[in-house]
Amino acid sequence: MSRLEIYSPEGLRVDGRRWNELRRLECSINTHANASDGSSYLEQGNNKVITLVTGPQEPKLRSQMNVTKATISVALNITRFSKIERSKSSHKNERRVLEMQTALVRTFEKNVMLHLYPRTQIEIQIHVLQQDGGLMSSLINGITLALIDAGIAMYDYISGVSIGLYDTTPLLDLNSVEENAMSSVTLGVVGKSEKLSLLLVEDKIPLDRMESVLAIGIAGSHRIRELMDKELRKHGERRLANMST
Amino acid sequence: MVLSVTEKSYLHESLASVPPARPDGRKADQFRPIEVFTDFLPASNGSSKVVASDGTECLVSVKCKVVDHAVEEDLVVVDVDIAGHRDDSGFVQGIASTLSKVLSTQLDRSCLRLTKKYSFKLYIDVLVLSSFSHPLTLISFAVYSALNSTQLPKLISSDDDLDVAELPTFHDYDFVKLNVSVPLLFTLAICGKNVLVDPASNESDVANNGILVTWNNGKATAPIRTLGLNEDYVSGVSPQSLQDSIKMIEQVAPEVLQALGGI
Amino acid sequence: MAKEVEIPAAESKFVIECLRQNLRLDSRKFDEFRSVEIELGDDYGDVTVTMGKTKVHCRISCTITQPYEDRPFEGLFFISTETSPMAGPQFENGNNTGEDEVLCSRIIEKAVRRSGALDVEGLCIVAGSKCWAVRADVHFLNCDGGFIDASCIAVMVGLLHFKKPDVSVSGEQVTIHPVDEREPVPLGVLHVPICVSFSFFNPEDAEENIKGESNSEICIIDATLKEELLRDGTLTVTLNKNREVVQVSKAGGLPMDALTLMECCHKAYKITEAITDQINNVLKADATARNQYAAILSSENARES
C-alpha cells in the first residue's frame, strides 16, 4: 500500500480526484417494479447497490406489529463477490453487518413518518453487488431513493458520504484504497440542513480536526442530495410524459 | 399469487386439454421473454443479470483464482443465494447441489488448465433477487451468459512448469475469453398428457409434476429428473411424458442457445 | 425469555417534562457524569466499576496459543461482553444478537481493540508459533444505564492493572516463570480510550426537529436506565487524553445539529481527562499498597533526594 501516493503534492488522489470531489454518482429508481414496491439501483464510484422496499404491509409475525406506528426492518446482503478478492465466508450474521443493519433502521426510523402507517411493516432489502469504500453512505443513499420510489412519506432526504483525514487534509468520498490508508468518518445528513442523523467514526482522528471534516462532509452530502433529487425529478418527468401519451 | 381451489382446477383442466391453453397465451414450447445483461461487474471476471417478464431476477458473478490442481480437486464452486429463503432450506440447497453437480462434472476442466501445475478455479456465485416461479431455468441461462462473457487473465509465462518452481505470471491488462461449453438446465411442467416448457408460477401450482432436462453439447444429458413444483397435484410421471419432454427440449434448445449466443 | 422493561405513560411524561425544565430525576446536571468507583480485586486484572447503580465487572486473563497465520508477529486479544439476566430481566441468556447488545459490544470492540489500545505485538513470544492470548471478560452485574461507558473503563483499568507471567525464550524453548518466582510483567497499553455516552430527547414534535431552526433538542450525559429507554437518540464518543477521537457512534436516532455534536465531543474530552486521572490515581494507590514492604525488602540503599 505504501508505494501508492494517496495524496500527491499537486493535490491529486489515487483516482485523479481533488480533495473535495465526489465520485461518479449514478442512480435510478423503480428498477425492480415487479419484485418490490419501491426499488433503486445506485452506483457511487464502484459501489453498486440494489435496494428493494416492500411495504407498508401486514407484518409476517404478530409480534412485529406496533399499533401506533410502522416498523422498519433492514436485511443487508453483502455478496461474497462484492470485493476484488472473493470472501471465504458469507457475511450474513456477522456482527459488523448486524451493526450496520441496526444503524440503518435507527437512521430511517426518525425520518420516515411511521405514525402514518400503524400496524404495518416496511421491509428494506439491500444487495451489495460491488463495494469500493464508503459502503455505509451508499446504503443510506440507496435506501432514501427506494423509500421515495415506494411512496413512503419521509420528512426529507438523508444523504450519506464518507470523509477521510489524510494528515491534515480532509478527503471527500473515499474509495477502498484510501479507506484502508487513513481514518474515515461516515455521515448521514438530513436534507439541506446541517443536522446529522448518522455519524460514525471508526479510527483515530484529532479532536481539533473534526470540525473541518464534518464541514466538508456536510457540503458533500448536500451535493449528493442534489444529484439524487435531479435524477428523481427526471424520472418523474419521464413517467408523466409516458402517462399523457 | 394464491389461487382458489376452483381457479386451480380450471387452470389445470385448461393446461391438460389438447392443445394446452396457457393463461398467458403461450404455446407449449414457448418461453417467456427475458432480458439479459452481461459484464457489468468490473470486479468479477464475468457477470450477468437475467430478468424474466414476471420480475424474477437472477444475478451471476464468476470469479477466478489460480490454484494448484493437484491439491484442489474441485475447480468449479457454485454458491446459490435466494432472497427470502434461508441458505440451509431444502429449496436453496436442492438448487445449489443440482447446479454444482452439473457444472463441476460437465464443464471441461482442460479449459481451465493454465500450466502443468496450476489451473484456474472458478467461483460461480448466484444471487436470485426475487423468484416467483421455479428459478432453475433462469439461473441456468444466467450462468450460461456469465460463463460465456468471462474473461480470464492472459498467461505470459511458460505453460510447462513441472521442473521450474515458478508461479504463473499474467499479462497486465490483456484477457482471454473463457471458451467452454456450458450445460443448460430446463424445467418443464407436466399437466395431464401435455408437457409445457418454462412454467410460470400459476402453471407450476397446478402441474402434475416437473421435469428437469439438462442440455449440453447438442444433446440431452444427465441429469434428467423430476422436480416437485407443488404439493397438491403431484402424480407419477409416465414414460411417455418423459420422452415428450426430452423431444421438446431437443427442438427448442438450439433456438435458445442461438438466442443466448447472440448477446 | 426476555422481558421488556416498560415505563408507564405517566412516568415517561413526567421524566420528559422534568427534562424540559432542566431537571433530572437523580438531581444531576445535564452534563454531569455519575461519579465512578473503581475497585481492584486481589488478583491482577480484576476490576469492578460502579457508576450509580450500574455495576460492571471485568476480568483479564491470558493463555499461550498460536498466532493467526497472516499475523505471525501479533498476539491475540478478545473482549467478550455477554449480558445475562443477572443484569436485569430485559436481557436474555445466551442471546447476544439483540440490537443494543450488538451495538454495545461493537463500540467497545472499536474503542479498545480496533484503536490499538493494547499493544498486540508485545504479546508475541515466538513469531509464528507462540503468543499470548489476552481475554477480557466483561460481566454486567447490574444495569442502570451507561453500560458502554462503564465497561470501557473496566476493560481499560483491567488491562492497565493486569500482569502476565514473565517468559524467557532460548531458541524454541519457552519457559514460563510462575508469578511467585519472578515478578510478572504488565501489558503494553498504548493509550487509554474513555467512552462518554450522550442521550438526546426531542421536546417538540418530529417536524420541528427536522425542519425547524430552534435546535431545542435536549442533550444529557450518562443517562440512567429510565432515561435510556425514553431517549430518542444516542451518541457515544470515545476519546483519549491526547485529544484524539478514537471512535464516534451515532447510529441513527434523532437528527442533531453538527455543531451540537461537536460541542458534545468537547464536553466528552473534559470528562475523559478527569476519568483518566482518576484511573491513574487508583492504579498508583494500588501499586503502593501492594508494595508497601518493598522498601524493607530492597537491598539498595534509599537515595536521599
B72 touches chain A (CB under 8 A): no
Cα of A94 to nearest chain B Cα, Å: 15
Supply the mean pLDDT for chain A: 91
Neighbour subunits, B (≥3 Cβ pairs < 8 A): A
In the prediction, which pLDDT does A1 show?
A: 46
pTM, to two decimals: 0.91
Q: What is the dihedral of CA C156, C160, C163, C169, to 10 degrees?
A: 100
Spell out the residues 6+ positions from residue B88 whose beta carbon is closer than 8 angstroms to its own. Answer: none
B54 touches chain A (CB under 8 A): yes
Per-residue 3-state assignment (H helix, E strand, C coil) for chain B? CCCCHHHHHHHHHHHHCCCCCCCCCCCCCCCCCEEEEECCCCCCCEEEEEEECCCCEEEEEEEEEEEECCCCCCCEEEEEEECCCCCCCHHHHHHHHHHHHHHHHHCCHHHCECCCCEEEEEEEEEEEEECCCCCHHHHHHHHHHHHHCCEEEEECCCCCCCCCCCCCCEEEEEEEECCCCCCEEEEEEEECCEEEECCCHHHHHHCCEEEEEEEECCEEEEEEEEECCCCCCCCCCCHHHHHHHHHHHHHHHHHHHHHHHCC
Cα of B192 to nearest chain A Cα, Å: 31
Domain range annotation of chain C: 18-287
Contact A162, C215 (CB under 8 A): no
Element (H, E) at A75: strand A71-78
pLDDT band for position C303 (cuts 50, 70, 90): low
Higher pLDDT, B172 or A46: A46
Secondary structure (3-state) at B91: helix
Q: Which of A108, A185, A195 lies at the smallest CB-CB distance from C210?
A: A195
- Rounded CA-CA distance B234/B241 in Å is 14
Beta-carbon separation of A80 and B43 below 8 A: no
Residue C54 pLDDT > 90, yes or no? yes
| A52-56, B73-77, C208-212: least confidently modelled range | C208-212
pLDDT band for position B63 (cuts 50, 70, 90): very high
In the prediction, which pLDDT does C299 show?
A: 67
- Rounded CA-CA distance C303/C83 in Å is 51
Q: What is the dihedral of CA A74, A75, A79, A82, to 10 degrees?
A: 0
A130 touches chain B (CB under 8 A): yes
Inter-chain Cβ pairs, chain A and chain C, closer than 8 A: 125
Neighbour subunits, A (≥3 Cβ pairs < 8 A): B, C
For residue A101, which of C234, C252, C236, C148 has the smallest C-alpha distance?
C252
Contacts of B57 in chain A (CB under 8 A): 32, 35
In the prediction, which pLDDT does C171 show?
A: 80
- Rounded CA-CA distance A119/A63 in Å is 10
Cα of A38 to nearest chain B Cα, Å: 13
Q: What is the dihedral of CA C120, C125, C128, C133, to 10 degrees?
A: -50
Residue A245 pLDDT > 70, yes or no? no
Secondary structure (3-state) at C34: coil
pLDDT, one tens digit per residue, over A161-179 is: 999 999 889 999 999 999 9
Question: What is the pLDDT averaged over residues C271-292?
Answer: 92
Cell readout for B32 is 417467456
Cα of B156 to nearest chain A Cα, Å: 22
Q: Peptide bond before A206: cis, by omega within 30 degrees of 0?
A: no
Contacts of C232 in chain A (CB under 8 A): 110
What Rg, from alpha-carbon coordinates, does chain B have? 20
pLDDT, one tens digit per residue, over A97-132 is: 999 999 999 999 999 999 999 999 999 999 999 999
- Rounded CA-CA distance C23/C40 in Å is 34
Question: What is the pLDDT averaged over residues B198-208?
Answer: 88
- Rounded CA-CA distance C65/C63 in Å is 6
Q: From residue C39, give the alpha-carbon distance in Å to each of C51, C83, C156, C161, C293.
A: 11, 21, 13, 11, 22
Contacts of A214 in chain C (CB under 8 A): 258, 261-262
C248, C259, C264, best to mutate vs chain A, most A CBs in 10 Å: C248
Question: What is the pLDDT averaged over residues A6-33?
Answer: 91
In the prediction, which pLDDT does C1 show?
A: 47
Supply the mean pLDDT for chain C: 88
- Rounded CA-CA distance B203/B31 in Å is 13
Strands of the B209-216 sheet, one edge to the other:
B194-197, B184-191, B209-216, B219-227
Question: What is the pLDDT averaged over residues C24-46?
Answer: 91
pLDDT, one tens digit per residue, over B214-241 is: 998 888 888 888 888 887 788 888 889 8
Higher pLDDT, C95 or C64: C64
In the prediction, which pLDDT does A203 show?
A: 87
Cell readout for C83 is 449480558
Residue A2 pLDDT > 60, yes or no? no
- Rounded CA-CA distance C47/C24 in Å is 29
In the prediction, which pLDDT does C300 show?
A: 67
The residue of chain A with its CA nearest to that of B124 is: A81
pLDDT, one tens digit per residue, over A36-74 is: 899 999 999 999 999 999 989 999 888 878 889 999 999
pLDDT, one tens digit per residue, over C120-179 is: 999 999 988 889 999 999 999 998 988 999 999 999 999 999 999 999 988 888 888 988
Cell readout for B116 is 502443468
Domains of chain B: 12-262 (3.30.230.70)
In degrees and rounded to multiples of 5, residue C104 shows phi and psi of -60, -50
pLDDT, one tens digit per residue, over B141-155 is: 999 999 999 999 988
Contacts of A50 in chain B (CB under 8 A): 129
What Rg, from alpha-carbon coordinates, does chain A have? 18
**Cβ-based neighbour number of residue A97 at 10 Å:** 17
CATH code linked to domain A23-244 = 3.30.230.70
- Domain at C18-287: CATH architecture: 2-Layer Sandwich (3.30)
Question: What is the pLDDT averaged over residues B39-66?
Answer: 91
A239 touches chain B (CB under 8 A): no
Contact A129, A48 (CB under 8 A): yes
Contacts of B129 in chain A (CB under 8 A): 32, 35, 50, 52, 127
What residues does C176 pair with on adjacent strands? C167
In degrees and rounded to multiples of 5, residue A185 shows phi and psi of -125, 135
ipTM: 0.89
In the prediction, which pLDDT does B186 show?
A: 92
